[in-house]
Structure 1
Amino acid sequence: MSDLALVAARFAELLRADGLSVGADRAARFAQAITVLEPTRPEQLYWCALATLVSSPEQVSVLTRVFTVVFGETPQLAVAAAGAPKVAAGGPGAGTDPSGSSRQEVGELASVLERLASRDFADLEPDELSLLATLMRRFRLATPLRRSRRKRAAASGRRVDLRETLRRARRSGGEPAVLHRWTPREKPRKLVVLCDISGSMQPHARAMLQLLVCATGGARAEVFTFATRLTRLTRALATDPAAALRRAGEEAPDWSGGTRIGESLRGFIDDYGARGMARGAVVVIISDGWETGGAEELAAQLARLSRLAYRIVWVNPRTAKPGYRPLAGGMAAAWPYCDAVVSAHRLDALDEFLAALAG
């Protein structure tokens, strides 16, 4: 699967270089279509590309040209794809039935996923959100690296490994022939997620929790939800998306309640953050900033958190609206302490969120 993802990404790069707008989301859908159809002929592979990588007849010629360069064959279906009567890919017996039902199913799946990827999470039904789990598995939640206490051998390391140097010196009569050096290992910074599950944030909270379950790297995150109280959900989310969201609802009794962001942050810092969980971590706060408590309390707790965390990323779907300004309430108090504020309100807007995590 990793090789397939690499091929899809490289193919998308070549299409972009030739003037076709192909993002990571379309490349992921291309790879998913291949796993569903399992093409055995170039024509079938071309149909996978056609169903997922282009959005208008004018783009077919670019796809055909790049496909020929990459895969070494000119698809005989280019004319049909541009608008002429369509020919069955490979004909009967080439991996599909005479009616072309497999190809039709792949095209329908790709089309549905493409439409869902551009819709706001608040407009998705639960079953539609579940369909996006397939694409969310293509994402990787990566945080910046930091030095660890462990070390590794490095010829250009700044420090001499005396123990290893003396151990090797026994082979040369006690004379250290080579100075062995080491450098600190690096590991990803901790990821801590605080997710608002109040009524105004319910659809986006479900989508972001599903992303944490599905995306590579999300499993190692410490996850808390808050509305009127703070609930730790790290263990509950270590499963499949549907079951995880059900358990989240069971373990967080204030789901769809009010919002006390400042009070919840104080509870997190007192019980977890100041004891080491937030030190040097990337902390993600998912909330629209509607604070039912005092904005002063929120500002005070964010000031404390900013002294502990390496980076604070605030996810607020309302910032996607044209002309949004944090003029009042919780967001006005929180804004000065955030290293990044992103919307992450739909699937094709998650690239900005991933970039903010990586710093």
Structure 2
Amino acid sequence: MGRPPVSGGVLRGVDRAAFATAFADRLRRAGVPAGLTEAGDFVRALGVWTPGETTALYWAARISFVRRHADLAAFDRVFADAPPLPLTRSAAPPAARDDVHLPVPADTDATGDGGGLPWATLPAPVAEAEPSDAGVRLPERRPSALAGLADRPFEDLDAAQLALLGDALREAVARWPSRRTRRHAVGPAGRRVALRPTIARARRTAWEPVEVVRERQVRRPRRVVLLCDLSESMRAQAHAYLHLLRAFAVSTDAEVFAFATTLTRLTVALRHTSASAAIAHAGAAVTDRFGGTRIATNLRALLASPHGDAVRGAVVLIGSDGWDSDPPDELAAVMARLSRRAHRIVWLNPRAGAPGFAPLVAGMAAALPYCDRLLPAATFRDLLDAAGQLQSVTCTEGRKRFTATPTPRIIA
């Protein structure tokens, strides 16, 4: 189905994209499915089209747009009604130029439905905007729900906002650092030769170890043990700290406990699928909450219980303000035992971020020499930062602890 060649050439600087888009619009109106992919193919085909050859242009358009035999008749009809001869980018009127070989019909309207070439028509008119002296208005940028609560104290947050804190904490501890174990598994990146698999494969090659199998050490997430103080002095932070315990209980290999005068294990209660139900069950399980505090007695009970082995090689996190009714020397002795058994000890103190804070409380001063980190934990942002630092403290090679005698400032 050839077409006679057009006499003369075509204008230089053809806007191929506009030409292909307008021709594809004509085809779509005729019922031919011509999308962006077909129009892009046609634009690339125009790059190799020889000016003045309508036959080559016809076959380039047909190969690019026609995908079904049923669309061939509609394509020939559109091509015959409006011979696709493109204009230049400037689209100047034909009467003002001498090198335009085919004039644009005078009855072309703005919508392209009154005849004429589809690539020379203008888009539908749009109503002009009303003049305004208000100037440029920029949208008001507001913080997200999480960022807006980042620096607010826990006592100013309601239950829904604390639930949002729990979701953010679970995302923060989703990727927990791992530790090496004594077990080995087959892996191509290992440095150690796996003898049994290598000998087994050597049976196929006359006992010559042609293929060497290597193995690597198996890594497991490092265990976390969390202890939260739910005494009267920690009433404002108790609900938020329970969300922190639940984030570790559902995301990592963690054992979580709460204490006031006695020690209560909350691991099973906080692993409930519903966050509100888990917090309610945990609060009901701690029968002595909002009472006195006996940190040394509870730590000693943990080390003597069946869960004392969970502390070995684990990261121990203690959330408390340091106020303790036990003697400071007893707390120092049990903290020394705990430090020999644990991998790292991190203490979260809600008063550590206050200006001029110094750990001069007797219990805090006795426990501080055996802690690897002392972190503030009084706001949303403090807990999220603490979760990030807990992930990095497990990768620290050397243990850098505090000095036994803190600088005297003020008592928090």
Q: TM-score range by the shorter chain?
A: 0.5 to 0.7
More helix by proportion, 1 or 2? 1
Alignment partner of 1:269 is 2:268: no
Structure 1 equivalent of residue 257 of structure 2 = 224
Structure 2 match to 1:327: 360
Is the contact between residue 121 and residue 204 of structure 1 (CA under 8 Å) also seen in structure 2? yes
Post-superposition offset of 1:114: 3.0
Tell me whether 1:311 sits opposite 2:368 in the alignment.
no
After alignment, is 117-126 or 160-169 more displaced? 117-126
Bigger drift between 239-248 and 113-122 goes to 113-122
1:124 to 157, 165, 183: 157
CA distance in 1 between counterparts of 2:373 and 2:330 reads: 21
TM-score normalised by length of structure 1: 0.66
SS of equivalent residue, structure 1 residue 296: helix
> For the Cα contact (< 8 Å) 2:257–2:264, is it kept in 1?
yes
Is the alpha carbon distance of 1:169 and 1:190 closer, same or farther for their aligned partners in structure 2, counting shifts above 3 Å? same
CA distance in 2, matches of 1:304, 1:295: 14
Q: TM-score, normalised by structure 2?
A: 0.58
Q: CA deviation at 1:166?
A: 0.9
Map 1:78-93 → 2, pairs under 5 A: 79-82=136-139
- The residue that corresponds to 2:333 in the other structure is 300
In structure 2, how many angstroms separate the alpha carbons of the residues matched to 1:227 and 1:218?
25
The CA distance in 1 between the partners of 2:335 and 2:249, in whole Å, is 28
For residues 341 and 218 of structure 1, the distance between their equivalents in structure 2, rounded to whole angstroms, comes to 23
Structure 2 residue matching 1:319: 3-state secondary structure:
coil
Query: Counterpart of 1:320 in 2: which secondary structure?
Result: coil
Q: 1:316: how far off?
A: 0.4
Give ranges in structure 2 of 5+ residues lacking alignment. 1-134, 394-412
Cα separation, 2, equivalents of 1:354 and 1:224: 18
Alignment of 1:16-95 (within 5 A): 79-82=136-139
Q: Which runs of 5+ in 1 are unaligned?
A: 1-77, 84-106
Tell me how far apart the structure 2 counterparts of residues 80 and 137 of structure 1 sit (CA, whole Å). 39
Go from structure 1 to structure 2 and tell me whether the alpha carbon gap of 1:142 and 1:216 turns closer, same or farther (over 3 Å shift).
Answer: farther
**Displacement of 1:141:** 5.5
1:258 equivalent to 2:292? Answer yes
Cα distance in 2 between the residues matched to 1:279 and 1:132: 30
| Deviation larger for 222-231 or 124-133 | 124-133
Question: Which of 197, 217, 229 is equivalent to 1:184?
Answer: 217
Task: Tell me by how many angstroms 1:295 deviates.
Answer: 1.0
In structure 2, what is the Cα distance between the partners aligned to 1:199 and 1:141? 31
Q: Distance in 2 between matches of 1:187 and 1:352?
A: 24
Aligned residues of 1:313 and 1:356 also touching (Cα < 8 A): no
Aligned to 2:195: 162
* Gap change, CA 1:136 and 1:217, over 3 Å in 2: same
SS at match of 1:257: coil
Once the two structures are superposed, residues 91-134 of structure 1 have per-residue CA deviations (whole angstroms, 9 ceiling, x without a partner) of: xxxxxxxxxxxxxxxx98x6544322221213323343234334
Of 137-146 and 259-268, the range deviating more from structure 2? 137-146
* Higher-Rg member (1/2): 2
Q: Is the 8 A contact 1:280 1:309 kept in 2?
A: yes
The match for 2:204 is 171
Is the 1:143–1:282 Cα contact (8 Å) retained in structure 2? no
* 1:144 CA drift (Å): 3.7
Residue 153 of structure 1: aligned partner: 186
Alpha-carbon distance between aligned partners in 1 of 2:235 and 2:174, rounded to the nearest angstrom: 22
Cα 1:168–1:120 change in 2 (3 A) is same
- Matched with 1:244 is 278
**Structure 1: how far apart are the matches of 2:178 and 2:247?**
22
Of stretches 347-356 and 186-195 in structure 1, the one that deviates more from structure 2 is 347-356
Cα 1:137–1:355, aligned 2, differ >3 Å: closer, same or farther?
A: closer
Distance 1:134-1:192 versus aligned 2 partners, 3 A rule: closer
The AA in structure 2 aligned to 1:250 is A
Letter in 2 for 1:129: L
Q: Counterpart in 1 of 2:173? A: 140
Moved beyond 6 Å, runs of 4+: none
Distance 1:168 1:334, change over 3 A: same
Q: How many Å apart are 1:351 and its aligned residue?
A: 4.1
State the number of aligned residues.
Answer: 257
Tell whether the 8 Å contact from 1:194 to 1:226 is kept in structure 2 after alignment. yes
In the alignment, the residues of structure 2 paired with residue 295 and residue 216 of structure 1 have an alpha-carbon distance, to the nearest angstrom, of: 30
Between the aligned partners of 1:251 and 1:328, the Cα distance in structure 2 is 29
Task: Give the Cα separation in 2 of the matches to 1:210 and 1:322.
Answer: 26
Superposed CA RMSD in Å reads: 2.4
Higher relative contact order structure (alpha carbons within 8 Å, sequence separation ≥ 6) = 1
> What residue number does 2:240 align with?
207
Deviations 1:285-320, CA, capped at 9 Å, x for gaps: 010000011111111110000000000000001101
